[in-house]
Structure formats: C-alpha cells, structure tokens
C-alpha cells in the first residue's frame, strides 16, 4: 500500500489524496460507530433520538453518558459500547496519522546519491 525505502517519496498531490482517503475511512468508521450507539441507546435505553445521539456521541468522544440508564440491557449495551468506542477512537486516530508518520519516516530513510556510492 505504501512505497518502500527504495522508492522515491510520493509526490505531494498523491500524498494529499492518500491522506484524504484515510480521513474518509476514519470518518466512515466513526459515523458507523455513532450510528450503532445512536440506535442502541434509542432501542435499549428507550431514549429520544436526540438524547440517544448525545449519549452515543459523548461516549464515542470519551466523555461518558449523559442520561441515567434504567434497565440492565441498556447498562450492558453502554458498557460494551464504551469499550468498543475506546478502541474505535484509537483505530481512527491511527488510520489518520499513519500516512503522515509514514511520510516522515520515509523521508528520513531515502537513499541519496552519496549513500549509493559508499556501498
């Protein structure tokens, strides 16, 4: 997927395209996760659509639930969703940062004309 150490640095236009592609993937994953939480809170906790959205967004953002949960099914869902949301947050950040980090590391390890003569 990425160029290796023996290939030249990706042109800036292609790098921006790659970065936008990674951003799109991360936003789709986050949007899907938000939808899962939204539906889960609406169905299991019997919250209004707006309250369900707020609770799902707050947990996905790492802040915690807003409304108290009345039944065990909603509490189980909230606990599992919170664990899931923590992992999804880390995965999303990793997907966004990966091309930038790769570009930095690749630029540090490029072969220069002086390197090829010394071998």
Record the tokens describing residue 114, joined without a space: 């002086």
CATH no. for 21-109: 1.10.287.70
* N-term to C-term CA, the chain: 28
Distances (CA, A) of 95 to 48, 102, 108: 32, 11, 21
The pLDDT of residue 1: 76
pLDDT in 10s for each residue of the chain, 119 residues: 777 777 888 889 999 999 999 999 999 999 999 999 999 999 999 999 999 999 999 999 888 889 999 999 999 999 999 999 999 999 999 999 999 999 888 888 766 655 555 54
The pLDDT of residue 114: 58
The pLDDT of residue 24: 97
Give domain limits for the chain. 21-109
Count of Cβ atoms closer than 10 Å to residue 56 Cβ: 26
Residues 11, 33: contact at Cβ < 8 Å? no
The pLDDT of residue 116: 53
The pLDDT of residue 109: 77
User: 103-112 burial by CB neighbour count: b if 16+ within 10 A, else e?
Assistant: beebeeeeee
pTM of the model: 0.81
Q: Where are the alpha helices (H) located in the chain, listed in sequence order?
A: 12-44, 49-60, 72-108, 113-118
The pLDDT of residue 41: 96
């Amino acid at each position: 997927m990425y160029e290796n150490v023996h290939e030249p640095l990706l042109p800036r236009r292609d790098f921006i395209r790659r970065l936008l592609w990674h951003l799109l993937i991360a936003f789709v994953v986050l949007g899907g996760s938000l939808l899962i939480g939204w539906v889960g809170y609406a169905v299991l906790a019997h919250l209004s659509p707006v309250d369900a959205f707020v609770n799902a967004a707050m947990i996905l953002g790492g802040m915690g639930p807003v409304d108290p949960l009345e039944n065990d099914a909603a509490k189980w869902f909230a606990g599992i969703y919170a664990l899931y949301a923590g992992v999804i947050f880390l995965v999303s950040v990793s997907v966004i940062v990966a091309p930038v980090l790769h570009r930095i590391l690749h630029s540090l390890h490029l072969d220069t004309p002086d390197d090829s003569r010394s071998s």
